[in-house]
Amino acid sequence: MEVERVKVKVKVDSGEQRLKELGYKQELKRDLSLLHNFALSFSIISILGGVTILYNTGLSYGGPASMTYGWLIVSCFTMFVAVSMAEICSAFPTTGGLYFWSYQLAGKEWGPFAAWMTGWFNMVAQWAGTASIDYSLAVLIQTIILLSTGGANGGGYMASKYEVLGIYGGILLLHAAMNSLPVSWLAYLGTFAAAWNIVGVFVLMFLIPLVSPTRASAKFVFQHFNKETSYQIHSSPYVFFLGLLMSQYTLAGYDAAAHMSEEAKYSDKSGPYTIISAVAISIVVGWGYLLGITFAVTDLNHVLDPANDANGYAIAQVFYDAFKNRFGDGTGGIFCLAVAALAIFFSGMGAITSTSRMTYGFSRDEAMPLSRLWHSVNRWDVPVNAVWLCATVSFIMALTSLGSLVAFQAMVSVATIAIYIAYAIPSLLRVTAARKSFCNIQ
């Protein structure tokens, strides 16, 4: 008796197949769908987080005009970079991301050097970025406590720099513990975080100016240029460029989609879609949020004054004043700050996710000291040692805040400049060294 054999056609994941062609073994679990990958990337960009963290910088350096038009200028160039990165990501969907792209695009002679340069710029940016996000959250929690207990002018409790550092350490510890769990769990948290960011942005962009009894004029929002910085800088162009830091810092981190390539299904397609869509949506909703909040700024000097109730935390003072001036109590503004704080929390969670995958990829290619240690995975196929390394290095970087809070601005600047250098290298190589050979690279 003959038994008829039925051939079952198994659909091969194109991202996994491409990974094998590039010489890598699939070690991480591919549990992320396109939606999950987008959600994690979008929550890392975090419009609520980035604008909240650096709103002081935007108002101080150039003010409303600098932020309003600076956002559009930065958005335009950011989209160019994102499209370039998306194209390269489709060809090289590996968790190493940028440094591996540079290696492939630079050719055999210059590939190792280009990969080393890109990788370390990216690594330093990731560590500094994680530190700046989580430390900013600790400072915001301090401000929420201050306002909840009466404000700086009403006997409110002002946490010391050591207490802020303790809060920061607790946040990092929690983020590292969360990132030690299966990536499928992080996917659900990332989806919630993305929804929280989108809903939160739309609620706050309309709620704050509507609640505020008085609103700024369109002339103030679109034309007022604040040149009076605390550092007495007299060059208007220089002030304007410094003000761009807020937009540049916020619209970064979208390389996370590349670093999650080996955990995303069909990453050669989902990765590029994620990069472009996350940036495009962030640009639109971010500008709306920025305009909405700025229309509630009626006294620029007051919201930037270190002697105000929020101890000079501009956006906190804007939220607090809007509700206090309308209802006689600023509690509603404190709740709005909590909405932003949760968005920043999820952004920090995603930052460690992305950084640990970058560390995993970099150590897999033996580009880091003790590479074998950082390359190992736990029973859930998570690079847990890389996760805790990222948390440890980020904590050490924030110790400089004990000396001066200027160190925080330095961390933000390092993160922003280094990440864009890492973005620029493979993009530049794509149109120079690999101009003719890119389509034939295997």
Lowest mean pLDDT among 4-13, 23-32, 80-89, 294-303: 4-13
Closest listed residue to residue 207, CA positions, set 59, 341, 333, 67: 333
Burial 396-432 (b: 16+ CB within 10 A, else e): ebbeebeeeeebbebbbbbbbbbbbebbebbbbbbee
Kindly indicate the confidence band of residue 7, based on its pLDDT and cuts at 50, 70 and 90: very low
List the domains of the chain with CATH numbers: 32-432 (1.20.1740)
Kindly indicate the confidence band of residue 254, based on its pLDDT and cuts at 50, 70 and 90: confident
CA distance 107 to 132: 35
pLDDT, position 189:
87
Per-residue pLDDT tens for 145-178?
999 999 888 888 999 989 999 999 999 999 999 9
Q: What is the mean pLDDT of residues 53-72?
A: 90
Kindly indicate the confidence band of residue 8, based on its pLDDT and cuts at 50, 70 and 90: very low
DSSP state of 62: B
Per-residue pLDDT tens for 90-117?
888 888 788 889 988 988 889 889 999 9
pLDDT at 442 over 80: no
Extract the runs of DSSP E, i.e. beta strands, from 110-165.
Answer: none
pLDDT, position 271:
86
What the block records as the tokens of 274 is: 């994620």
Q: What is the mean pLDDT of residues 317-337?
A: 94
Residue 33 phi, psi dihedral angles, 5° rounding = -85, 175
Lowest mean pLDDT among 215-219, 266-270, 411-415: 411-415
Per-residue pLDDT tens for 291-316?
999 999 989 889 999 999 999 999 99
- Residues in contact with 236: Cβ distance below 8 Å, sequence separation at least 6, in sequence order: 225, 227
pLDDT at 440 over 70: no
Q: What is the mean pLDDT of residues 121-150?
A: 92
Closest listed residue to residue 47, CA positions, set 166, 193, 239, 169: 193
pLDDT at 380 over 70: yes
